[in-house]
Amino acid sequence: MSRAYNFCAGPATLPEEVLRQAREEMLDWQGTGMSVMEMSHRSDEFVAIAETAEQDLRELAGVSDDYAVLFMQGGASSQFATVPLNLLGEKSSADYVNTGIWSKKAIAEARRFADVNVAASSEAQGFTTIPGQAEWQTRPDAAYLHYTPNETIGGLEYDFVPESGGVPLVADMSSTMLSRPVDISKFGLIYAGAQKNIGPSGLVVVIIRKDLLGHARPGTPTMLDYKTIADNGSMYNTPATYSWYLAGLVFKWLKAQGGVAAMGEINQRKARKLYDFIDTSDFYANPIEPRFRSWMNVPFTLADDGLNAEFLKGAEARSLLNLKGHRSVGGMRASIYNAMPEAGVDALIDYMTAFEKERG
Ligand code: PMP
């Protein structure tokens, strides 16, 4: 068996150790004679798996008891509606910052429920930068301030946590969760689709300050009310049990790597290597203002778009997979989440060097 280096933006590569353990436990989880996939979510065994996963996540991310941790479904995209349904309360307006395609999707969905104020946008700069907070036109009566710490498609990442005054700060951390240390206490709510740094798809993790629970607007579907989920330990209905279990294995793996601080250092090193290489080459380019370049998603273009197909074919032949950029922006994108070993980045740089020599 040989494992490729998979640079997919999500579902993304998982730690090999995690997949091996899942294989080991596939038919018989710890002597139960069952796969986790076949277990009742109400069984003692699964409840223990679920609670351990939550505890490990709390430890890794530094989540205090002031917050509830929810394991929901419907992907990060469902959160685009769930957030306004729950957080608007008596208010009607919310502030959003527009830094790319995922911000725009969140804004479009929120507009179905709220008077959305785009407090700042870098659209005029082609989403290559993040507007300084001094320029943001936030409103003190906004129910919350929403932003996207890492734009997965554009490869644009905040290097700061915005100050939101007394307004709850809401973050779509789908592609940056657990990749570097973050002070959770600055946030009202964080959500993250699992399929990048957490586990397989089918799960979305929500971290919500407990005082924000219980304010869903009338008519909110039961399953979309965070309070329902919190009051029922994320088991109001059948949760995504296998994804939850695998996320738990990923959390254990992350702890064994030294946790989020250690991972952050590795991630910064991996990203810097790749950007440094791109910057020293005349053949490859990345348009993002260096300060805001994503540690997780590295988009790059070739000097001649006509060589894209050949580049991808050669990459595949070397088991460097899923480097094609998002259909909306073209070019290439290397997603280098926690589970992408540094050797994968080295292999990519070796290939890019060879390709440039031959075709550049
Ligand atoms: N937000 C961000 C930042 C994302 O990267 C993605 C998925 N790539 C989404 C939201 C949507 O996630 P999902 O497919 O889980 O709905």
C-alpha 75 – ligand 1 centre gap (Å)? 7
Nearest CA to ligand 1 atom 3: 174
Q: CA-CA distance, 174 to 183, in Å (whole number)? A: 16
Residue 1's pLDDT band (cuts 50, 70, 90): low
Q: Which two tokens stand for residue 112?
A: 């179905």
Query: Which tokens is 268 given?
Result: 């910064």
Choose the catalytic residue: 56, 95, 102, 253. Answer: 102
Residue with tokens 């436990």: 25
Nearest CA to ligand 1 atom 10: 76
Ligand 1: list residues with CB < 6 Å. Answer: 9-10, 75-77, 102, 148, 152, 172, 174-175, 193
Structure confidence by residue, pLDDT tens digits, 17-52: 999 999 999 999 999 999 999 999 999 999 999 999
Among protein residues, the one with the nearest Cα to ligand 1's atom 5 is 152
Report d(CA 87, CA 189) in Å as an integer: 9
DSSP secondary-structure letter at 324?
B
307-334 pLDDT per residue, tens: 999 999 999 999 999 999 998 888 999 9
Query: Domains in the chain, start-ordered, CATH in brackets?
Result: 16-256 (3.40.640.10), 258-359 (3.90.1150.10)
Torsion over CA: 173, 177, 179, 181 (sign)? positive
Supply the mean pLDDT for the chain. 97
The predicted structure's pLDDT at residue 35: 98
Give the SS3 label for residue 124.
Answer: helix
Mean pLDDT, residues 202-214 taken together = 98
The pTM is what?
Answer: 0.98
